[in-house]
Amino acid sequence: MNKRIEKLRGQLAESEERVDGYLSINVEASDRTNQRYLTGFSSTLGCTLVLEDSVIFLTDSRYIDDAEENLPEVELKKIDSKAVETVAELINELGLEAVAIDQNDVSLKFYNKLKKLLDGVELLELDGVLGEIRRTKEEEEIRLQDKAADIADSAFSHLLDFVEPGLTERDVALELEFFMRKNGAESVSFPPIVAHGAQSAKPHANPGKSELEPGNLLLVDMGARCDGYCSDLTRTIHLGEPSAKVKEIYRIVLEAQLSGLEALGPGESARKVHKATSEVIEEAGYGDSYDHGAGHGVGLDVHEGPKLDDTSDDTLEPGMVVTMEPGIYLPGWGGIRIEDMVRITEDGYARFSHAPKDRVINPL
């Protein structure tokens, strides 16, 4: 935790304005993952105040005992009833003049109330300072994501033995979630996407009651969460012997994905990486059927920076963890997406995901 706090302090020290403290807020609908990143502690309510030489963590009676056990280096303050009032009272007592908050980390309701309660304290609105720090993963973060990716790979192998005609999309989604939890996942990264037949043309289809039938595509997008850290994996299989069209579109998507992977590396433009995937699909005549980015960062959130799309200004750096997931989606027919999670290295990239993808898999 100290290394992450020091990174944050370093960022704040570079600010053109004086900053006496940084407040990370986990109240109501605000983002919980920044709290977990800074403290390693997970709760549904907590505020972390980072000062020049100390850290204060505020939470209520539900978590105070666990916080005492898990945060020995942090000063604790109990929130008795109202979080905003407790936080404002502490900042006023400390005599701080300027406190930074991340505008992506707080609700408008909390911000307005806090500003009203503070006595002569300036609230400095920062944009994604922790998000920037979180883009580059530490060794322990990489280890946890590797573990989460292994669980997702195992879940895919299990899927190939599990699927059979008559099961519904929901049956498959539930089995995947159960398998990942049973095999070491804290939870899933997100509710699994299981899309059968024409439903696979919807990139983020919700699993329904559609029963699996031979002759159809099955797109599965899933991920495991281990100690907070996510994995993300997509594979598209075919129930029965695939047609020539299925094989051809699968080949195009795989070629696009491999082209995107080949473009990855430190110093590379995220926009250029996306272009490496889109050009392959456009040249094959399916450009209008690929309308999302090539990938995104993954960490404590399954979607975080950097972005790999045609609008991104991001540059890849060693330690970043990203997905590579081009797809082709044809309404009324179906869709094919292939996704791996990788980390950027000093000389290219290294894959977390190792589930087979070299051909259209037929599990029946």
Query: pLDDT digits over 180-204, tens only?
Result: 999 999 999 999 999 999 999 999 9
Helices 169-182 and 139-162 pack at an angle, to 10 degrees, of 130
Cβ atoms of 342 and 316 within 8 Å: the answer is no
pLDDT of residue 214: 97
Over range 18-33, report the average pLDDT: 81
- Mean model confidence pLDDT for the chain: 94
pLDDT at residue 110 is higher than 60: yes
pLDDT of residue 1: 56
Pick from 206, 190, 203: which is nearest to 327 by CA?
A: 203
What are the start-end ranges of the E strands in 82-172?
Answer: 98-102, 122-126
pLDDT at residue 100 is higher than 90: yes
Cβ atoms of 253 and 281 within 8 Å: the answer is yes
pLDDT of residue 28: 64
Confidence bin at 64 (pLDDT 50/70/90): very high
pLDDT of residue 335: 98
Over range 89-103, report the average pLDDT: 93
pLDDT of residue 263: 98
Confidence bin at 31 (pLDDT 50/70/90): low
pLDDT of residue 30: 55
Q: Which CATH class is domain 2-134?
A: alpha beta
User: How many Å apart are CA 136 and CA 128, to the nearest integer?
Assistant: 14
User: How many Å apart are CA 6 and CA 191, to the nearest integer?
Assistant: 34
Confidence bin at 106 (pLDDT 50/70/90): confident
Confidence bin at 7 (pLDDT 50/70/90): very high
User: How many Å apart are CA 59 and CA 79, to the nearest integer?
Assistant: 5
Identity of residue 203: P
Q: Which CATH class is domain 139-351?
A: alpha beta
Tokens of 334: 């179906």
Phi, psi of 311 (to 5 degrees): -115, -5
pLDDT at residue 97 is higher than 60: yes
Domain ranges in the chain? 2-134, 139-351
Tokens of 102: 């991340």
User: How many Å apart are CA 259 and CA 70, to the nearest integer?
Assistant: 45
Look up residue 52 and give its DSSP letter.
S
Choose the weakest-confidence range: 123-137, 180-194, 253-267. 123-137
Pick from 143, 195, 190: which is nearest to 170 by CA?
A: 195
Look up residue 145 and give its DSSP letter.
H
pLDDT of residue 217: 98
